Amino acid sequence: MYVAASRLCGLSAHVCLDMGDYDSAATHARTARACAEAAGHEGMPAWVCAVTSLIAYWTGRYEQAARLAQAGRHQRVGGTIGARLASLEARALAIAGDRAGAVAALADAERSREAVPGHDEAPGVFALPAGKQFAYVGTSYLAVGGREHVRRAVASANTAIRLYRSAEDDDQSVGDLFAAHVDLARGHLLLGDLDGTEAMLGFVLESTPERMSASIVRRLTALGRELSGPQYGGAAQAAYLRERLQHRAVLAASPAARLPELPT
């Protein structure tokens, strides 16, 4: 019963994250950890570290997000949680400016994935699909920067999309598909390909706004700001895309929107 309660509280934390309610997410995460510890469960405390790392990441505390992921990695547990924690650490370190640490953590995530025997104890959000791991790789490489890393990010995001589109219905995630498409769009933008950026954004901009989580709204807003950069010289295509992104972000952030997808 304690394990079930821990998982239910963990799911509640994810829903609150999805809505952008980080204080409530933290409360549910603390309860999930307490229930897992009361049950003596080995895997859930590590999984809760991933949730608290996400909370820190989406509240702008990137170094703390990395430390929380590292703390979870110190626990000896099976399944894909090691790959998840290493991926979260890599993304946080990349945003924080620790490029070498981010690349090393990505390598750790890949090794953890290869070492996983069998299946995770619980499916769904408690496991890390390969597609989601590739999505994290793409986001991390974009943050590391540099033309070669951007190319790797584009390749990883494409792989994430391919894996999710070929997965069983229960393993597909619209939220992760959104994230991978936004990363692809940003990758094309950094490579100077506005046409590619517009093409990759089509999947997101043509979807209904109520399907977009708080994290996707933030990604769209950030990409819109990048399109305002002086390097685009007021190009009509950049201005058009920026307006579309801003409009979609406003619609998705509306209180009327219901956000069923899990945070990325």
How many structural domains does the chain have?
Answer: 1
45-66: average pLDDT: 95
pLDDT in tens, 9-32: 999 999 999 889 999 999 999 999
Task: Say if 48 falls within a structural domain.
Answer: no
pLDDT band at 43 (very low <50, low <70, confident <90, very high): confident
201: CATH = 1.25.40.10
Mean pLDDT for the chain overall: 90
- Can you give the residue range of the structural domain that contains 240? 62-252
pLDDT beyond 50 at 260: no
Tell whether 168 is covered by a domain.
yes
Q: Which residue has the higher pLDDT, 140 or 174?
A: 140
Q: Who's near 110: CB < 8 A, 6+ residues apart?
A: 83
23 within some domain: no
Instruction: Output 211 or 149, whichever has higher pLDDT.
Output: 149
* Average pLDDT of span 31-60: 93
Please give the pLDDT value at position 264: 59
Q: Which pLDDT belongs to residue 91?
A: 97
User: Is 69 inside any structural domain?
Assistant: yes
Whether residue 141 is predicted with pLDDT greater than 70 in this model: the reply is yes
Q: How much is the pLDDT for 259? A: 45
Question: Which two structure tokens, joined as six digits, stand for 74?
Answer: 């110190």
d(CA 14, CA 54): 9
How many Å apart are CA 75 and CA 221, to the nearest integer? Answer: 36
Quick one: how many helices (H) and strands (E) in the chain? 12, 0
Is residue 258 very low, low, confident or very high in pLDDT (cuts 50, 70, 90)? very low
Question: Is 254 a residue whose pLDDT tops 80?
Answer: no
Backbone angles phi, psi at 117, to 5 degrees: -95, 125
- Quickly state the pLDDT bin for 263 (edges 50, 70, 90): low
| Mean pLDDT lowest among 44-53, 110-119, 172-181, 188-197 | 110-119
Confidence label for 256 from pLDDT (cuts 50, 70 and 90): very low
Instruction: Give the whole-angstrom CA distance, residue 61 versus residue 34.
Output: 23
186 pLDDT higher than 70? yes
* 241 in a structural domain: yes
Question: Using one digit for the tens of pLDDT, what is the confidence trace for 100-132?
Answer: 999 999 999 999 998 887 677 777 788 899 999
**What mean pLDDT comes out for the span 78-86?**
91
Domain membership flag for residue 8: no
- Spatial neighbors of 13 by CB under 8 A, at least 6 apart, are 25, 26, 28, 29, 32, 51, 55
Question: Residue 261: pLDDT above 60?
Answer: no
**Residue 30, in any domain of the structure:** no
Domain annotation covers residue 55:
no
Does pLDDT of 262 surpass 70? no
